[in-house]
Amino acid sequence: MKKLFILLILISCAPSKDKSTMETKKDESFWKEKLSPAQYHVLREKGTERPFTGLFFNHFEKGDYACAGCGQKLFTSTAKFESSCGWPSFYEKSIPNAIEERMDRSYGMNRTEVICSKCEGHLGHVFNDGPKPNGLRYCINSAALIFFPDTINK
């Protein structure tokens, strides 16, 4: 009995798996079921939606934008600006560790891909032609985002 008790304590004290690792390791069938075809194409196949077609390119309500894959908060509306490029554009991410960058040499171009740090979903690219204060333009596919309106400070 005492051995069983000790065993139970050891099991309950074992480190739980890191949630972010678990999100990343979801297999493609999980994502196909969870996401719409457009979300899946962008987030899991690194697709790009056609410009001026997404839900948020011309959307300027106050609120937060999160990853459509895992729900991690990525951007706030205060950093969104009208870039005329046809995709939602932000000059900064809302949390430093929310977005990772990767070199993207596809299609004969040198671009910096941005992905969600939690689920590794493809979001879009970041360019150096954004406005002040930092000159960045996070060019993000609407299909990679879900929006949570700020109902308090509307």
Instruction: Tell me whether residue 12 or residue 21 sits nearer to Fe ion (CB atom).
Output: 21
- Report 48-67 residues binding Fe ion (CB under 5 A): 67
Residue with tokens 């994502």: 31
| Radius of gyration, CA atoms only, the chain | 19
44 binds Fe ion (CB under 5 A): no
- β-sheet with 73-76: strand ranges across: 73-76, 63-67, 145-149
- Report 70-89 residues binding Fe ion (CB under 5 A): 70, 72
Looking at residue 9, its amino acid is: I
Instruction: Tell me whether residue 21 or residue 128 sits nearer to Fe ion (CB atom).
Output: 21
Measured from the CB of residue 107, what is the shortest distance to Fe ion in angstroms?
24
124 binds Fe ion (CB under 5 A): no
Q: Tell me if residue 85 is catalytic.
A: no
Q: Burial letters for 119-144: b for 16+ Cβ neighbours within 10 Å, e otherwise?
A: bbbbbbbbbeebeeeeebbbbbbbbb
Instruction: Tell me whether residue 27 or residue 84 sits nearer to Fe ion (CB atom).
Output: 27
121 binds Fe ion (CB under 5 A): yes
Residue of 66, 30, 50, 45 lying closest to 144 (CA atoms): 66
Q: Which of 40, 57, 66, 69 binds Fe ion (CB under 5 A)?
A: 69
Q: Which residues would be at the binding site for Fe ion (CB under 5 A)?
A: 67, 69-70, 72, 116, 118-119, 121
